[in-house]
Structure formats: structure tokens, C-alpha cells
Amino acid sequence: MCPKQTRVVSAVLAAVFAVAAPIHANGQISQDKQSKHRMSVEMLERMIADASSGSTVVIPPGTYRGQLKVRSPVVLDGQGEVTIDGEGIGTVIEITAPSVTVRNIRVTGSGDNVTGEPAAIRVLAPAVVIEHNVITDALFGIDLRESSDSVVRYNDITGKPLEPGRRGDGIRLWWSHHCTVEDNIVRQARDMVFWYSEGLKISRNVVSGSRYGLHFMYSHDTTLEENELASNSVGVYLMYSNRITLIANRMTDNRGASGYGIGLKDCDDIELFGNALLANRVGIYIDNAPSSIDSIGSISSNMIAFNEIGLLATPNTHSNTIVSNAFIENEEQAATHGRGDLGNNTFSTAGTGNFWSDYAGFDHDRDGIGDLAYAPRNLFAAIVSREPNLRFFMHSPAQQAVDFTARALPELRPQPVFIDEHPLVKAPSIDITMPKHQSTPWHLAIVGICLIGGVACLGSWLYWEQPLGQTATKDVP
């Protein structure tokens, strides 16, 4: 390549990377650019006050410092070029007007005094939309109080780097009915929690590195669909909440002290359908659910695999229909939390039960249903249900000796904790739909277009600079 071509190549590449460099992976303009415009939030408050109701306020690019109060129903749009920094003091953005939208803003630096519950964004009015924001270094991420008919979507939330006991909630709803919470990413928070809120739609959220991925208290008539909850202490925990449906959620590697993929406590009319519970301490935990005599719980078509315990329930658990699930390679497929059995629940209905990977029966007529009932009689598991600390000896020679003795002396074998009269001999096909995250972000698309365009221009120039009829040759030694 001649010196002239070298200079042109260098110029083209420099131009391409000059365009791409300011754009970060989170979609925000580079800090160097923002540092040129560091202003107080008072300027924003004046802009909002001067705007007409329902209008869009496009914030000039830059970093704004302080605590912003939004008291008028406007659309506040940072267009991905704005940071509001609370500088570690109190709540960063507080919304007291209904029908406000906050979008495309980076919010950072709430206070850290848990008694004041400072948040990145606090909403104190109904019909508010919080979307496409990036929240960092916040004790509480997005906090809705008496904010019915609101929408929280496509936000990326990272809590403060604190011990779990000192963190705030990534998203919290208090007495906020008929809200939609979807397509959010939450990391390093306490919970995504819902208190006294009804008629919610919770979809396609991703929560990791937190205490409870989704936590419900006294919240009813809600649907949870296609959420991904991984590496938390607990995936989903429902307490004193009724008429909740969980569909196609994925709970993996939730291994805290309790480590439930899904936990149910004193809940009525719960439906679990098509969920994946993988590699948790306990796949599904049930404590007195249903709590009402006339209520029925439904657990069907779930994949419950590679957990320490697939299904764990207190002996007073009753009226759950547990069918068409796949229990695969759990260390213990199903057990009671304490003495007793699960006989008040139904493990097969209309001739269909569940698939158990350790089922040793046969299917003589090849109808897909085992000819013998599945009735596990594990002596070591029975001992552990009475003395949970003995789980320490799982997979040890001590366990093997106990189970061998029970097989050699059938009179020592305990009564089965439950019986599945019609076990499936083949695992049912269960469609687990993963959350559909956002497509390639706009900033990455711009980088790609710049790179492709630059290379194309460079290739064309090199082609036309080469004399007509001349071909590139390689010297042969």
C-alpha cells in the first residue's frame, strides 16, 4: 500500500471510530461529552413548569445535579443523552403529578439511609409511565406509592454495592393497582416487591443477584409471565396473595438459605403452568397453600429438574392438583417439611400423573402410563424430613448404608410420602419461552452501520485507485 493509500486508510478508520467512541454499551452519551454540561435540576424544573400539560419536554444533553421534582403532567425525555445525579442525597426524581412519562434518562446517586427509603425515581401519582431509563447507585430503584394504572418497562436497574441486608428494592409497588411491570432488568437489589396491589401484569423481567426476585404480599389477581429469576436467594415468593397465575417463568440457581424457585405461603387459587425450576435448593415450596378449605391449587406442565428437592411441602398442605410435570434428577423428588405426608394432594387425574426420572416401573401396553404406581419409600429421606440437618450426609456412605439396609430389610422402609397412581414413562414436552429482550440497541446499530459503511468506502476507494487491468500478485519464492 502506497503512502497516499496509508494516509487515506488511517483517515477513514479515525472517522469511523470517532463516531463510535462516544457511545457506551448502556446507550448513554460518553461522560466526556456530558461533563461539558453540568447544570442544576432547577433549570429542568423551570422547563417543566413552563410546559403545557401533556407536552414533551426534551432535556438538553448533559449532567444535572440535585433532586428533581416533577409537578406537572408532561413527558420528560432525555433521549439517551441526559444524566440526573442525586449526589448521594435523598430521592433523585420525585413525581407528584398524574400522567407523567419519564424516559431515556440515566438516574444515579440516591441517598443510602435506609430509614428514609431514598429512590432513584419515586412516583406518588397514578397513570405514570417510567420507561427506557438506566438507574445506577440507587438504594431503591423505582418506587410507586398509590400509583394505580402505571407502567414500568424497559428499565435497567442496579442497586448500591451494599450488603444484602442494607439494600433497597429494585422495583416496589405499594397500593398500586392495575399496573404493568415488564421487560425490566434488576441487579444487586433486595426484592422486586408488590404490597397490597391488585390486577398486575408482571412480564419478561430479569432479576439476578438479589434476595427475592419477585415478592408478593397481600396482592391478588395477578399474572406473572416469562420472567427470568436467576442467582437470587429466592426466585418467586407469594405470601397471603390469591388468584395468582405463573406461566412460562424460569427460576434457576436460586440457592440462598431457603433457595426456593417458587415459594407459596397461605395463598389461594394459585396456578403454576409451564415454568422451569432448575438447579435451585428447592424447586417449589408450599406452606399451607391453599389456605382455604374450598380453594384448589394447580401445578401442571412444569419442568422441575436438578434441584436438591423438587417439591417440598408442609404436611398440612392440601387440595393441590399436581399433574403432567417433569421431575428430573432432583436429589429428592418430593418431600414433606416435617412429619406427615402429602396424601391430601392429587398427583394424578383422569389417568395422567407426572414424569419421575427415577421411576423403575414398566409400560406393558405402551400407552405412556406406567403400569405400577410411583410410591417412593426412601428411608434416608424420611429421616431427613424429621432432622433436616442430616441433609449434610446426602450422597455420603452414611446415606448409602441407610438406603441399602432399607432395601435389604423391607420392614424398615417407611410409608410413601405420596403416591402417583399413573406415572408418565416419558417426560412431557414443556415449552419454556425465554424472555424476549430488546433487539439490538440503537447505539450498537449506529456503530455497526459506521463500521460497515467505513469499510465499504475504503474498499471502493482502494479498488478504483488501483490502475485498470492491474491485479494484486503475491511473490512466489
Instruction: Look up the CATH number of the domain holding residue 379.
Output: 2.160.20
Over the stretch 197-220, which tens digit does the pLDDT of each residue have? 999 999 999 999 999 999 999 999
Is residue 96 domain-resident? no
For residue 72, being part of any structural domain is answered with: no
Q: Quick one: CA dihedral 282, 288, 293, 294, positive or negative?
A: negative
Residues 396 and 266 both lie in one domain: yes
Q: Are 41 and 66 in contact (CB under 8 A)?
A: yes
Beta-strand pair 320-323/101-103: unpaired
Angstrom distances, CA of residue 412 to CA of 323, 341, 415: 30, 17, 9
Q: Say which DSSP state 30 is in.
A: P
Write out the DSSP string of 293-361.
TT--EEEES-EEES-SEEEEE-TT---EEEES-EEES-SEEEEESSSS--TTSBS-BTTB--EETT---
In this structure, the answer to whether residues 209 and 270 fall within a common structural domain is yes
Do residue 117 and residue 245 come from a single domain? yes
456 belongs to a structural domain: yes
According to the model, what pLDDT value does residue 410 have? 66
Mean of the per-residue pLDDT values for the chain? 85
> Residues 67, 65, 205, 174: what is their CA dihedral angle, to the nearest 10 degrees?
-10
Q: How confident is the model at residue 118 (pLDDT cuts 50, 70, 90)?
A: very high
23-26 CB contacts, 8 Å cutoff, 24+ apart: 23/443, 23/446, 23/447, 24/443, 25/443, 25/444, 26/106, 26/134, 26/156
Least confident of 210-214, 381-385, 432-436: 432-436
> pLDDT tens digits for 160-189?
999 988 999 999 999 999 999 999 999 999
Residue 25: pLDDT above 50? no
pLDDT at res. 450: 44
Residue 99, in any domain of the structure: no
Q: Based on the domain organization, do 395 and 456 belong to the same domain?
A: no
Residues 10 and 145 in one domain: no
Residues contacting residue 58 through CB under 8 Å, at least 6 positions apart: 77, 79
Q: Is residue 78 part of a domain?
A: no
Task: Tell me if 422 is assigned to some domain.
Answer: no
Same domain, 460 and 399: no
| Domain annotation covers residue 189 | yes
**How many domains are there within the chain?**
2
Residue 320 forms beta bridges with which residues? 297
CA distance 102 to 204: 20
Q: Are 316 and 458 contained in the same domain?
A: no
**Domain limits for position 453:** 3-26+445-465
Assess whether 449 and 303 both reside in one domain.
no
Residue 105 lies in a domain: no
Q: In this structure, what C-alpha cell is assigned to residue 465?
A: 485507485
